[in-house]
Amino acid sequence: MTEPPETEGRGAVGFAVFPDCDGAVTAARSVGGPRTWAHPSGRPWLTSDLPPDAVTVAEAGDTRLAVIGCCPVQELRRHAERVHDLDDVDRVARRLPGSFHLVASVGGRVLVRGTASGLRLVFHTRVGGVTVAADRADVLARLAGACVDERQLAVRLLFPVPHPLADVPLWRGVRQLDPAHHLVLERDGSTRSGRWWYPPEPELSLAAAAEPARRALVDAVEARTAAGGVVSCDLSGGLDSTSICFLAARGGASVIAFTWPTLDEADDDLRWARRAAAHLPGLRHDVLPADRSPLVYAGLREADDVVDEPTIGVVDRARVLARLPELARSGARLHLTGIGGDHVAWGSDAYYHTLMRTRPFLALHRLRGYRSLFRWTRQSTVRALLDHRSYGAWLADSADELRAPVPDSATTGLGWGMPPRAFPWVTDEAVDLAREALLAAAPSARPLGPTRGLHSDLEQIRATNRIVRQWEQITARQGLPISSPFMDDRVIEAFLAVRPEERITPFDYKPVLKAAMRGVVPDECLERSTKAEATLDAAQGLREHRGDLLALWEDSRLAELGLVDKRRLADLAVRPSTPDLREATFYAAVGCEVWLRALRRPAVL
């Protein structure tokens, strides 16, 4: 059993929410933090150690609203005046742009919710007989003295971690709220949850969707730039970051564009980025030379970031942070990324599993395109289309196939997604624990949407945001937080409202985004259909940092718990070109190992 986290003094910022009851006072005092909001009775309902500009609070009668995060809300008190009971809260919130938590107290009843995207999560647990909610699981674990659940740690060694297993916190007794639900803390100390978000019906044509998608993206970027000052933006030359950069340049902030080429000589990011920058006179465009950029796996042994769950994103930690110091010295207060465009403006091929039954002639034509594009065989395509298993059945079958080879891309592309795999360095004991968790979840598991395509899109959005939320915590600690407008709920809704056959096609690349940005981004910049990959950087990173990886496994915390075979992992570290890594990745093992090590580091005041 792993001990509770030692997070104080090492950047574990967040907030906690309490019910309006006497017991909450004790819980509030144990959280601490520089600011606590209280009712007139003196009873606290919200405490936070986030920066002052991250929390906006307003009162009207016995209604109190708090917006925590990115939301340029004007006249929050006016919104509070429109809230007469908790049922009014979601109606008000659906009008607000940005990405934020919303906390409301009405007549002593408290509601808290995050974002449907999963970027702003809500956790809750019982402390001293009182339910406390927070935006971080480790904050609640520290409050409750909770320890790490080793079965859930074994699950996180799978790749990928399927829904709903990814929504189970690592801490015993701490629960995560479904992102589509809100949590209500009643006056008597009881709790209930209710659903506030449903994906839109995909009914809009491409022509009809262009304006709503444009407006949603404009609002999302303006939510970040309206305060003025300086913001920096990724400019890879791809459609996603280029769109965000052009929208930011139209706002009230000065913009620094940043391009980060890879080592691959075939990478044409820089050429497309310079083409885009030429259309923005006066734009400052910084380029980090590829040979100055940290490689994948750099700095893992020094990583001491306090995050509330393991993340595979830790392998890119040094790369993400490398760009920030110089941008911060240039006055940037926020760094915008194009993360999310691949999941929102594009989507899953699995929609064609459904379209084959509703529009077979269209589906057959498109599937021929996918077969050519991804080299699907006729046999594997037909087999995938004939698979009618429910999501729960697929999950149960996956539990019995954790050691099986990775399936072909037609099976994963047209199915419920990539089935989880336990690679050879995961011990049999860990596999047994993970299998138990999968089988326990399967009978009640429901997909995130009514079709395989929508389920896959929403699962990928949530999975990506689990990485992004950790990067946001890490970069905020470094003084220049990142922000990803594509992951705002209003943006996701606007793109998911498009008919899937018009949003996702093998014959066009991100057609909705191109239609939405026509007139904002120059036509020549919308023509790009290539996408750079960082596979060469990852391979070179393995070679250059194999000594650090070897040291990581020599005194592995995961091995102490009996979850990985450190000899196998050490062997991979000294053989970075081994064929064993062609169909496997140890990102999950690295993420869990680094996270466990950070938990054991003493607090640094």
- Of 195, 229, 262, the residue that ends a domain is 195
Q: How far apart are CA 572 and CA 579, in angstroms?
A: 10
| Same domain, residue pair 73 and 175 | yes
Q: Within 13 Å of residue 300, how many CA atoms lie on the same side as its CB?
A: 31
Q: Kindly state whether residue 9 falls inside one of the protein's structural domains.
A: no
| Same domain, residue pair 183 and 95 | yes
Instruction: Tell me which of 477 and 469 has the higher pLDDT.
Output: 469
Split at pLDDT 50, 70, 90, the class of 313 is very high
- Of 401, 431, 455, the residue that ends a domain is 455
Q: How far apart are CA 424 and CA 359, in angstroms?
A: 42
| Same domain, residue pair 170 and 43 | yes
Q: How far apart are CA 535 and CA 531, in angstroms?
A: 12
- Of 433, 455, 477, the residue that ends a domain is 455
Split at pLDDT 50, 70, 90, the class of 477 is confident
Q: How far apart are CA 512 and CA 523, in angstroms?
A: 14
Q: Is the pLDDT confidence value at 4 over 80?
A: no
Mean pLDDT, rounded, for 377-399: 97
What pTM does this model have? 0.94
Split at pLDDT 50, 70, 90, the class of 5 is low
Q: Kindly state whether residue 200 falls inside one of the protein's structural domains.
A: no
pLDDT computed for residue 290 by the predictor? 75
| Same domain, residue pair 154 and 75 | yes
CATH of the domain at 145: 3.60.20.10
Cα–Cα distance list, 21 to 110, 183, 188, 337, 530 (Å): 11, 16, 7, 41, 57
Q: Is the pLDDT confidence value at 288 over 50?
A: yes
Q: Is the pLDDT confidence value at 29 over 60?
A: no
| Same domain, residue pair 241 and 314 | yes
Query: Residues near 451 by Cβ (< 8 Å), separated by ≥ 6?
Result: 350, 351, 353, 354
The total of structural domains in the chain comes to: 4
Q: Kindly state whether residue 212 falls inside one of the protein's structural domains.
A: yes
Split at pLDDT 50, 70, 90, the class of 536 is low
Q: Kindly state whether residue 53 falls inside one of the protein's structural domains.
A: yes
pLDDT computed for residue 301 by the predictor? 84
The model's pLDDT over 160-186, given as tens digits with 9 standing for 90+, comes to 999 999 999 999 999 999 999 999 998
Mean pLDDT, rounded, for 213-237: 95
Instruction: Tell me which of 266 and 175 has the higher pLDDT.
Output: 175
The model's pLDDT over 69-113, given as tens digits with 9 standing for 90+, comes to 998 887 788 888 889 899 899 888 888 899 999 999 998 899 999
| Same domain, residue pair 38 and 169 | yes
Q: Among 4-18, 120-134, 443-457, where is mean pLDDT lowest?
A: 4-18
Q: Is the pLDDT confidence value at 33 over 70?
A: no
Q: Is the pLDDT confidence value at 283 over 70?
A: yes
Cα–Cα distance list, 139 to 26, 97, 482 (Å): 15, 27, 22
Got the DSSP string for 108-122?
Answer: TEEEEE--TTSSS--
| Same domain, residue pair 293 and 332 | yes
| Same domain, residue pair 241 and 382 | no
pLDDT computed for residue 417 by the predictor? 95
Output 52-55 pairs: Cβ under 8 A, ≥24 positions apart.
55/15
| Same domain, residue pair 427 and 530 | no
Token digits of residue 390: 């429910």
Q: Kindly state whether residue 7 falls inside one of the protein's structural domains.
A: no
Q: Kindly state whether residue 33 falls inside one of the protein's structural domains.
A: yes
Split at pLDDT 50, 70, 90, the class of 605 is very low
**Would you tell me how many other CB atoms lie within 10 Å of the CB of residue 461?**
24
Q: Among 260-274, 484-498, 572-586, where is mean pLDDT lowest?
A: 572-586
**Would you tell me how many other CB atoms lie within 10 Å of the CB of residue 409?**
16
Cα–Cα distance list, 588 to 38, 160, 206, 454 (Å): 41, 8, 38, 25
Q: How far apart are CA 375 and CA 359, in angstroms?
A: 23
Q: Is the pLDDT confidence value at 489 over 50?
A: yes
Q: How far apart are CA 570 and CA 551, in angstroms?
A: 8
Q: Is the pLDDT confidence value at 311 over 90?
A: yes
Q: Kindly state whether residue 252 falls inside one of the protein's structural domains.
A: yes
Q: Kindly state whether residue 24 falls inside one of the protein's structural domains.
A: yes
| Same domain, residue pair 450 and 508 | no
Q: Among 11-20, 374-383, 400-409, 564-573, where is mean pLDDT lowest?
A: 11-20
What's the alpha-carbon Rg for the chain, to the nearest Å?
A: 24
Residue 342 belongs to what H/E stretch? helix 341-344
% of residues, the chain, pLDDT over 70: 91
- Residue-averaged pLDDT of the chain: 89
Q: Is the pLDDT confidence value at 476 over 90?
A: no
Q: How far apart are CA 368 and CA 141, in angstroms?
A: 51
Q: Among 253-267, 298-312, 410-424, 511-525, where is mean pLDDT lowest?
A: 253-267
Mean pLDDT, rounded, for 578-589: 77
| Same domain, residue pair 362 and 446 | yes
| Same domain, residue pair 339 and 468 | yes
Domain limits at 396?
351-455
Split at pLDDT 50, 70, 90, the class of 52 is confident
Could you write out the three-class secondary structure of 534-567?
CHHHHHHHHHHCHHHHHHHHHCCHHHHCCCECHH
Instruction: Tell me which of 39 and 426 has the higher pLDDT.
Output: 426
